[in-house]
Structure 1
Amino acid sequence: MTEPSLKKRIWGWFFFDWASQPYHTVLLTFIFGPFFASVAAESYIASGLSEQAADARAQSIWSLSLTLIGLTVGFGGPVMGALADTAGRRMPWIIAFSAMFVVGAGGLWWTEPDGSNLIWALVFFAIGFIGAEYALIFTNAQLPTLGSPQEIGKISGSGFAFGYLGGLISLAILLLFFVEQADGRTIAGLAPAFGLDPEAREGTRFAGPFAALWFLVFMIPYFLWVREVRGEHRPHSMRAALASLIGSVRGLAKRPSLASYLGSSMLYRDALNGLYGFGGTYALLVLDWEVTQVGVFGIVSVLAAAAFSWLGGGLDKRFGPKPVIITTILGLMLVCLTIVNMSRESFYGVELAANSSLPDMVFLGCGIMIGGLGGVLQAASRSMMVRHADAEAPTESFGLYGLSGRATSFLAPALIGTVTALTESARLGVAPLIFLFLLGLILLPWVKPDGDRANTWD
C-alpha cells in the first residue's frame, strides 16, 4: 500500500479534531450537559425537594462527575502515555479510546427524561469523555511528526480551527433538525427528524448517538491517512512505564523551561476553563438573558474560536508560540476586567440608561474575544509543548501536559464560588480569573521560546 503524502497525513490528523469536537461542544456544553441538569432538577423536585435545593443538587452531581472525570484523565493520562511510549505503539491505544468515545456517546440515548437512571447516564458520559480526552493525548503526540518546528504552530492552529468548525456545524444540525423546544419543534420550526418523539425528549437525547456517528464517519480519513512511525516493538510493561514517568517528573528539576511552562499553562488554562464555564452563568444572572440568547452567544464564540485559531496559527508560524501566548493572556485579562466592571446598570463606573443595550453588545463582543483568544491560546500552547516534548517519549510528555492542565481544575470554580459567596455578586465572582492569568504570565519569562531540548524533527 502506498504511504499517504505528508499533506494527507496532516489533513487526516486534522480530522481527529473535527470528529471529536462535538463531545465538547454538543454534549458537554450546549445540549447534553444542560439537558442532564434539567432532568436531574425535575427529578429531585418530584422527590420533594424545593426548586432551589433541587437545582443545587443537580449542579452538584454534574460538577462532581466532571471532577472525577478530570482526575481520571489528569492522573491516568501520563501513565497511559508512558505505557504507549515504552511499547513503541500509539495507534492501538487511539483505536481503543475511540471505541470508548463511541460507546459512551451512544449510550446517552438511554437517558430517561424522568431522571430514573441518572447514574447510568453519568457513567456513559464519563466513558465517552475519558475516551475522547485520552485519545487526544495520543494524537497530540503525533504532532511533531507532521512538520518542522516552524510549521508546527500553523498546523496546530489550523487543527483547532478545523475542529471548532466541526463542532459548530454539528451543533447547528442538531439545533435545526433534532433538539425540541417547549412547543415540540426545533428552532427552525420543524418536528424532530426521523419521527423522534418530542414528548420523550428523543430529539435532545439523539445528541449522544449523533456525536458517536459523527465521530465514526469523520475518523475514517484519520485512520486512512495518519501513519505512525513504529519504534521497536516491545511488550507493555507497567513497571517500565511508571519508571519512565517518575524519571520524567524528576527530570523537571533539570528542565526549568519545561517546568515553568507546565506551571504557567496549568494556571492560565485553568483560568480559561473557568472563563468558558462562567459566560452563560454571567449572561443569565447579571444581564438577564434568555436561554436562546445564550445559545447564540455560544455559536458566536465557537465561530470566533475557529476563525481566530486559523489566524493565530499563522502568527505562531511567523513569531513563535510564546509571543502569541503572552498577547492572548493579556487580551483575556482585559476581557475579565471588562466583565467585572460591567452590569445592567453601569459600565466601568458610568451609569447607563435603564434600557441600554450597551451591556448586551459589549458582552457579545466579550464572547467573541473569549472564544477567539481562547482558541488561539490553546493552539499556541500545544505548539509550545511540542517544542518541549521529549523526542523519545512524546506521548508521555503530552500526558504530563494533560496532567498539568487538570491538576488544578478545581481551583477556578472554587475561587469563583468563594468570591461570589463573599461578595454576593456573580459579576465580581470572575475577578479571581484575572489573578490566575497574571500568575501564568509571571512564569512565562523562564520559558524558552524554542523549548529546552534539541529538536530532532526532519
Structure 2
Amino acid sequence: MTATPAAAVPQRTDRRALVSWALWDWGSSAFTAVVTTFVFSTYLASRAFVDPRLVAAEDSSSAAAQAVERELAHNAATVSTALTLAGIVVALVAPAVGRLADSSGHRRRSVLIGTIGVALSIGAMVFVAPQQPYLVLGAALLGIGTVAYEVATVGYNAMLGQVASGPQTGRVSAVGWAAGYFGGIVLLVVLLLLCIQDFGTEGVAGLLQLPSTVADGSWDVRVAIGIAAVWLAVSSVPLFLTVPEAAPDRSRTGGLLGAYRDLGRHVARLWRERRNVLVFLLASAVFRDGVGAVFTFGGIVAAQVFGFSPSQVILFAIAANVVAGVATFASGRLDDRFGSRAVITVSLVGLALTGIGVFLIGNATAGFWVLGLTLAIFVGPVQSSSRAYLARLATPGREGELFGLYATTGRAASFLAPALFGIAVTIGGSTRFGIIGVVVVLVAGLVLMVFVKREPARA
C-alpha cells in the first residue's frame, strides 16, 4: 500500500477511509466505556476485592463495616495510583512517539502497536479473579492498557488530516467522536443484557444456570471484559487495511533521544513563532480535564446525591452517550461553518451554566435527568472541536508531534478536576459540592480560551 505524502491535504474526503478510521473510535469504546469507566474499574473498587469474612459480618458488626470501608478506600486508591503512574508514563513518551511516527511515516504502525497492547491488556483482565491478591494485577493491567491506548490515540488523531480535506476537518473529527459514543452505547447495552446485570446477580451464570462457583468467580464481569477485547480487535481491523501511511519526514533523524531534543526545539519554536498553539494546548488541557470529569463523576453524583441504583446509573450512562453522540455528529457542520473555537467556547458556557443548575436543583431526580442529559449535549462537541482545531493548526507532516504534545498537556493537568472535586466535597461536607469543583475547572478553561485566536479556515 502506498504512502500518502505528508504535506498533501486531500481535496475530498475518502468515505471508505473515513469509515475505517471512525471504526477505530467505535471499537476503542471497549476501553473507554467498559474498562475505565463503567465496568472493570468499578469491579476493582468493589466488595469483590474485600475480605469475604468482613463482608459477611458487615451488617452485624460496626467494626467489620468500618474495616470494609477502609478496604474499599484502599481498592480505589490502588486503581487511582495505577492510573496516575500511567499518566506520568504517557506524559513522558507521547510527544516522542508522535515525533517518531511523523519522521518514519509509521503513524498507522504506532496505532497498531498501541491497539495490540490495549487488546492484550483487556484480554488479560479476564483472569483477574475476585480475590484480594488479584487487585494489584488488575490495577497494573488497567495502567498498561491506559498507556497503550494513549499511544494509539496519538497516531490516530494525527491521521485525521489523511482522511479529511481541510474544509471538512471539523465534520470528520465529529464523525469519529460520535462513532465512539455510539460504539459505547451498543457495547454497553449488549453487555448489560448478556452479562452484567448488577455484577452477576442474574447474568451469564444465571442465564445458563451455571454452578454457584462460577457466579462467585464474577464471570459475568470477566466474560463482559473478554467480549470488549474482541470488540476492540475486530473494529480496528479496517483502519489498518484501508487508511494508508503518511510519507516519512526524512529531515528528522536521531532515534528516541533525537526525538526529545527535537521536541525541545519544537516547543521553543512554537513559543517564538506560534505562541497561540501553546496557549491553546494550555487551555485545552484545563477544559478537557473538566469535560472528562463530567462523565467520571457523573455516576458518583447520580448515585450519592440523587439516589440512582447501579442499573439506573448504567441506563443514564447509555442515555447520556446517545445524546452526546447525536450532538457531536451535528456539531461537525457547525464547526466547519463557524470554527472550532466558537464551538468550544459555546459548549464550555453551556457546560458551566448547566453544571450550576445541577448544583441548585436539590434532590429532584427528574431535574437531574434533564440537566444531566443537557450536559451531555456539550461534552462531545468540545472534544471533537478541540481535535479539529489542533489539526487545522498543525504543520503538514508533523501532526503526530503536535498531538503528542496534546496528549502530554492533557495528562499534565489531569489532577485538576479530581483535586477540586475532592476539595469542594471536603469543604461543603456533601458530594453535591463536588459539582462546583468541576464547574470551576470548566470556567478556568473558558477564561483561557479568551486568549486563543480563531483558527484558519483551511489546514
What's the TM-score, normalizing by structure 2? Answer: 0.89
Q: Is the CA contact (8 Å cut-off) linking 1:180 and 1:187 kept in structure 2?
A: no
Q: What do residues 320-353 of structure 1 show as CA deviations (whole Å, max 9, x unaligned)?
A: 1111101100000012111221222xxxxxxxxx
Q: 1:11 aligns with which of 12, 16, 19?
A: 19
Q: How does 1:39-188 map to 2 (within 5 A)?
A: 39=47, 41-43=49-51, 46=54, 50-181=67-198, 184-186=201-203
Q: Which residue of structure 2 lines up, in the alignment, with residue 300 of structure 1?
A: 319
1:440 to 445, 448, 454: 445
Quote the residue 1:348 is aligned against: none
* Larger mean Cα displacement after TM superposition, 294-303 or 82-91: 82-91
Residue 84 of structure 1, CA deviation: 2.0
- Work out whether residues 205 and 220 of structure 2, in 8 Å CA contact, stay in contact via their aligned partners in 1: no
Q: Which one of the candidate residues 243, 249, 253 is aligned to 1:226?
A: 243
Matching residue's letter, 1:241: A
Give deviations 1:49-106, integer Å, cap 9, x for gaps.
6122122112111111111122222232112112222333222222211110111000
- RMSD between superposed Cα atoms in Å: 2.6
Match of 2:376 among 368, 371, 380: 371
Q: Deviations over 1:365-405 (max 9, x none)?
A: 22212322111110011111112222231101001111111
How many Å apart are 1:222 and its aligned residue? 1.0
For 1:411 and 1:61, locate their aligned partners in 2 and report how far apart those are by CA, in whole Å. 19
Note the alpha carbon deviations across 1:430-455, whole angstroms, 9 max, x for none: 2122222222112223322225xx96
Letter matched to residue 54 of structure 1: E
In structure 1, C-alpha distance between the alignment counterparts of 2:207 and 2:276, rounded to whole Å? 55
Aligned to 1:26: 34
Letter in 2 for 1:19: G
Contact 1:192-1:198 at 8 Å conserved across structures:
no
User: Conserved in 2, the CA contact under 8 Å of 1:168 and 1:299?
Assistant: yes
Distance 2:348 2:95 in 1: 26
TM-fit CA distance, 1:182: 6.4
Q: Which residue does 2:331 correspond to in 1?
A: 312
How is 1:340-351 mapped onto 2 (pairs within 5 angstroms)?
340-344=359-363
Considering fraction of residues, name the structure with more helix. 2
Residue type matched to 1:64 in 2?
A: T
1:248 to 266, 286, 303: 266
Q: CA deviation at 1:290?
A: 1.2
Q: Deviations over 1:267-297 (max 9, x none)?
A: 1111112222221111222112211111111
Q: How far apart are 1:363 and its partner, in Å?
A: 0.9
CA contact (8 A) 2:204 2:219 kept: no
- Aligned residue number for residue 338 of structure 1: 357
Q: Could you tell me whether the CA contact under 8 Å between 1:15 and 1:219 is conserved in 2?
A: yes
Where does residue 414 of structure 2 map in the other structure?
Answer: 409
Match of residue 8 from structure 2: none
Give the conservation status (yes or no) of the 8 Å contact 1:94–1:135.
Answer: yes
Inter-partner Cα distance in structure 1 for 2:147 and 2:186: 23
Q: Distance in 1 between matches of 2:289 and 2:258?
A: 31
**AA aligned opposite 1:238:** L
Provide the C-alpha distance between the structure 2 equivalents of 1:413 and 1:183, rounded to a whole number of angstroms: 30
Q: For 2:157 and 2:21, locate their aligned partners in 1 and report how far apart those are by CA, in whole Å.
A: 9
Task: Determine if contact 1:86/1:241 at 8 Å carries over to the other structure.
Answer: no
Taking the aligned partners of 1:236 and 1:210, their CA distance within structure 2 comes to 41
- Kept in 1: contact 2:82–2:142 (CA 8 A): no
1:388 to 2:422 alignment: no
TM-score after normalising by structure 1: 0.89
**Kept in 2: contact 1:78–1:397 (CA 8 A):** yes
Alignment partner of 1:268: what SS?
A: helix
Taking only the aligned residue pairs, the percentage that are identical comes to: 29
How many residues align structurally? Answer: 439
Q: Whole-Å Cα distance in 1 between the matches of residues 380 and 455 of structure 2?
A: 21
